[in-house]
Chain A
Amino acid sequence: MATAPGEPALLVEHLTKHFGERVAVEDVSFSVAHGEVFGFLGPNGAGKTTTVRMLATLIAPTSGSAVVGGIPLAPPNDVEIRQRIAVMPETPGLYLRLTVTENLEFFAGLYGLDSPMERIGLALDAVNLAGRAGDLCGSLSKGLRQRVGLARALLNDPTILFLDEPTSGLDPVASREVHELIDGLRGRGVTVFLTTHRLEEAERLCDRVAILNTSLRTIGRPDELRDRFFGPTLVVRTAAPLAAPERVFAVAGVERWHADGDGYVLAVTDPRTAAPEVARSLVAAGADVLSLGAERHSLQDVYLELIADDVEARA
């Protein structure tokens, strides 16, 4: 069963998982296109890993459906789905008494790969570990183990690669190496499903992100989400508070404003046209302007806005 042209790599509809009384994932729906790097964000306990485990056929959904690599998620299809995907859990899960090659040989055997040694060589080359093939995994650093885990995930040339917190606990250098590897996978057309709570990582790597907190809170491209949750704003800093800010900011393009510490935050229609108007008005009012610029919101702001809403709703 192959994925039809135009069909998403991953299609999830109303997926729900309950553990007894506890709701781990509630009515989650989304799709992921082929070759897309899709970020799945959320706080600890949000249901990210549970979702990955459901899609990887490890645990059964309570309700809802999914199509993974063109195959409907159902117990009779489990083995076929696993042939097409790979999962790298948060901890790479290596046999520490075995060498890198022996670890990969084992998994190549489980996948029934033809010419396993050739595939192992390619996977090790992809993660720049060919020189450590004979090392015991127990002797490798955490970053190198993570790379072995990634090599293992690449062995079966998966259509969809699930990466669960791939940089968790890694130092910045090792994290950057993992980022480069993920970029490389994008170049090879692999669909990557990346769960993380490192927002800068998601912003840097992902074509689209979804924010989950048991239920799906939002989904879209990072820049789209920034625009959706935060309109364009200008930030003005002055040496002293303005005598009559309501008059100064009553210019074309400024929709509303509020004081913020030693400055003012202005909601504007378009920063490029509003900024010159505001600058002229400030000069005319004799204000000592320290700075005037457009405020850039990050994915973190979007995330915090959404998660803060959830916390407030629960309080």
Chain B
Amino acid sequence: MRAVVRKEVREFRRNRFVVVTMAVTPIVFLVVPMITLLGIPASASSTAVKSAAGFLSLLMLIVPIVIPPVISAYSVVGERDQGTLEPVLTAPLKPSELLLGKAAAAFAPSVVLSYAIYVIALIVIRIAAAHVVSVVVWHAPLVLAQVLFTPLLATWSIWVGIGISTRATDVRVAQQLATLASLPLLAFTALISFQAITPSLPLVVALALVLLVVDVVAWRVVSQLFDSERLLTGSYARAATTP
């Protein structure tokens, strides 16, 4: 699995599309809400502050959803595109090991980036924003939600990306579909971000556990979807298509 992670990271580092997307997206998602939050005066209404803080929180939770598909959607269809899938499949590793390696390679940079911009946002707000803004953004359940949900949302997004990658025939289409398929989670994150569900510590932990279960189920489903025969020949073991 370590070999898979190392190879994936090496490949992505040399893929300009991946590097640019992973660099630009978090910056945009950080800068836009920060401009709003830093412009809020100390006299602003609590509704305005909560709305702006919710927007920041929403974007911070979108980052771990939209970044992983850039990598994970490439994982299987990309191998197939460049003809490397067959040599990899003839190596003595189980499909689950291969998939976990690919997931880990997408997980680490996505989560690190997501945490990094969140920490930057927290620090900048504490230093430069009005006190009323700082109080809302540094609300403990919200911070905990961000810390717990970021890796869990990223994991979900990764499995969706890999799942689509096992079925797609084109890398770009896989990336677009994977991003779209991850978006339903936006509703979930929006409820928390805008405090439609009042975030409390027990609620955040409970939701994190639900997400964890969903992630495990997604891993199992994607492992089942990974059928080397179909990937190589376009056929299931007894399907009515030709190799």
Residues of A whose CB lies within 8 Å of any CB of B are 18-22, 24, 49-50, 53, 56-60, 62, 79-80, 82-83, 85-89, 91-98, 102, 105-112, 149, 152
Whether B139 sits at the interface, judged by CB under 8 Å, is no
Q: A106-B3, A106-B6 are in contact. Are A111 and B243 (CB under 8 A)?
A: no
20 more A-B residue pairs beyond the given contacts A59-B229, A149-B87, A152-B87, with a C-beta to C-beta distance below 8 A: A19-B235, A19-B241, A58-B86, A58-B232, A59-B237, A62-B238, A79-B94, A87-B90, A93-B82, A93-B84, A93-B85, A93-B87, A94-B84, A95-B7, A97-B11, A97-B14, A106-B3, A106-B4, A106-B6, A107-B91
Q: A87-B86, A95-B11 are in contact. Are A110 and B228 (CB under 8 A)?
A: no
Q: CB within 8 A of A98: which of B7, B87, B88, B239?
A: B7
Bound-state Cα–Cα, A53 to B82, Å = 18
Q: Kindly list the 3 A-B residue pairs having the minimum CB-CB distance in the complex, ordered from nearest.
A: A109-B3, A20-B240, A110-B91
Whether B242 sits at the interface, judged by CB under 8 Å, is yes
Q: CB within 8 A of B2: which of A82, A91, A109?
A: A109
B136 vs chain A, min Cβ distance (A): 45
Bound-state Cα–Cα, A152 to B85, Å = 14
Q: CB within 8 A of B232: which of A59, A96, A106?
A: A59
Give the residues in chain A near B229, CB-CB below 8 Å: 58-60
B243, A24: Cβ atoms closer than 8 Å: yes
Residues of B whose CB lies within 8 Å of any CB of A are 2-4, 6-7, 10-11, 14-15, 82-94, 228-229, 232-233, 235, 237-243
Q: Is the interface of A mostly helix, strand, loop or mixed?
A: mixed
B90, A82: Cβ atoms closer than 8 Å: yes
A214 vs chain B, min Cβ distance (A): 13
Query: Which residue on A lies nearest to B14, using beta carbons?
Result: A97
Q: CB within 8 A of B241: which of A20, A87, A106, A149?
A: A20
Q: CB within 8 A of A110: which of B93, B232, B242?
A: B93
A310 vs chain B, min Cβ distance (A): 18
Give the residues in chain B near A109, CB-CB below 8 Å: 2-4, 6-7
Bound-state Cα–Cα, A97 to B84, Å = 12
B4, A60: Cβ atoms closer than 8 Å: no
A18, B238: Cβ atoms closer than 8 Å: yes
Bound-state Cα–Cα, A89 to B93, Å = 18
B92, A83: Cβ atoms closer than 8 Å: yes
Q: CB within 8 A of B239: which of A20, A79, A106?
A: A20
Bound-state Cα–Cα, A82 to B241, Å = 27
B93, A79: Cβ atoms closer than 8 Å: yes
Q: CB within 8 A of B233: which of A19, A85, A91, A97?
A: A19
Interchain Cβ contacts under 8 Å between A and B, 6 examples: A19-B243, A22-B240, A79-B92, A95-B7, A109-B4, A109-B6
Q: A89-B86, A107-B87 are in contact. Are A21 and B240 (CB under 8 A)?
A: yes
A51 vs chain B, min Cβ distance (A): 11
Give the residues in chain A near B239, CB-CB below 8 Å: 19-20
Give the residues in chain A near B242, CB-CB below 8 Å: 19-20, 22, 24
Give the residues in chain B near A94, CB-CB below 8 Å: 82, 84
Bound-state Cα–Cα, A207 to B243, Å = 30
Q: A19-B239, A19-B242 are in contact. Are A87 and B87 (CB under 8 A)?
A: yes
B243, A93: Cβ atoms closer than 8 Å: no
Bound-state Cα–Cα, A93 to B84, Å = 4
Bound-state Cα–Cα, A21 to B240, Å = 6
A113 vs chain B, min Cβ distance (A): 10
B83 vs chain A, min Cβ distance (A): 4
Bound-state Cα–Cα, A236 to B13, Å = 70
B223 vs chain A, min Cβ distance (A): 15
Bound-state Cα–Cα, A92 to B237, Å = 25
A111, B84: Cβ atoms closer than 8 Å: no
Q: A24-B243, A59-B228, A97-B14 are in contact. Are A89 and B83 (CB under 8 A)?
A: yes
